[in-house]
Structure 1
């Protein structure tokens, strides 16, 4: 991916107070922040099928610009990466809970899976500056090619050309 796909960074890099809480992993929260988030399929589950990946992508994009600004995302066979900014006082943990619980329930119902779909925890990181924003966006978009070097297209990846349009 060339760096011109993300010409401008969002205006979310700020000096607001950071709060920290911990489960198994530490979670930092900051008003107006952009986050890089990863969550994984439960170890007991087989890889996501193409139809399941399509469903997860649709779920990620459903509340775009209503609850969050989704800058980039990829649904891999066993994990998901997103680059997003919560908006309208929606908390990151609420967005993640909504995505994970809704997709898990629907994957069980529609595709007949049993048991936990996603691991309970997720990794999140506050994106600190434009360089990190570009690095994380490129990492997400290039993740399928890193896993499968021979890959030419991957339908379960998405990004916005110009993040400044989403202010």
Structure 2
């Protein structure tokens, strides 16, 4: 792929000369100060019990086939395979799908952009019925988990109060990946923009946003 676009304003890809940290939970998570991330977070009921059990079985089989120590490429391939499977399940529309309701989608939209340009830069996002895709670059010394957690917490309180519900609204762990370079970013932006159409959602019900500065620089969702 040859990209005839300059990087959008504020984008920072993976820097091979800067330190990289990693931790694992159910998924691997890499961190680099100043980097831009592709993040997906979903509602707690977006995956039914049998699907969660399937993921546990998948993890056990993967661990058996790939005993430690495991290198970055092995972890990355595992995370990709989980993401592809889970994305298909989420697009099937399991659970309450609170964000099909415009008032809740608007609250998540507002929460994502609340600290945009103050604590982080948002490149783009799409809000689906039971999950959200987001491109975000936390500013220096600000943790991705903290900012995504804050967004989730605000929307959980908002929906919990409206619906008089208790219990966790969101799945605790998110999928995230450092965006390597401009070409990787372009693929991510197009993937995010196309998600509602892939899921069969009518265009008048799409909730997606792209940074106006990026749009002015030629970066936009390609709906052709």
TM-score band, normalised by the shorter chain?
Answer: 0.7 to 0.9
Q: CA deviation at 1:8?
A: 2.9
Q: Which has the higher strand share?
A: 1
Counterparts of 1:165 and 1:67, CA distance in 2 = 22
Counterparts of 2:215 and 2:137, CA distance in 1 = 12
Name which of 36, 61, 71 aligns with 1:34.
36
Name which of 109, 113, 122 aligns with 1:70.
122
Name which of 192, 203, 214 aligns with 1:163.
214
Count, aligned residues: 162
Root-mean-square deviation (CA), in Å?
A: 2.4
Q: Deviations over 1:17-47 (max 9, x none)?
A: 1100111111100011100000111117511
Counterparts of 1:47 and 1:164, CA distance in 2 = 29
Once the two structures are superposed, the pairs formed by residues 12-161 of structure 1 within 5 Å of their partners are 12-13=12-13, 14-15=15-16, 16-43=18-45, 45-48=95-98, 49-148=101-200, 151-161=202-212
Structure 2 alignment gaps of length 5 or more: 47-94, 218-224
**What's the TM-score once normalised by structure 2's chain length?**
0.66
Q: Give the secondary structure class of the aligned counterpart of 1:8.
A: coil
Q: Give the secondary structure class of the aligned counterpart of 1:100.
A: helix
Counterparts of 2:110 and 2:163, CA distance in 1 = 15
2:81 corresponds in structure 1 to none
Which of structures 1 and 2 has the larger relative contact order (alpha carbons within 8 angstroms, sep 6+)?
1
**What's the TM-score once normalised by structure 1's chain length?**
0.86
Q: Which has the higher helix share?
A: 2
Q: Deviations over 1:122-159 (max 9, x none)?
A: 1000000101101111111111111116x233452100
2:85 corresponds in structure 1 to none
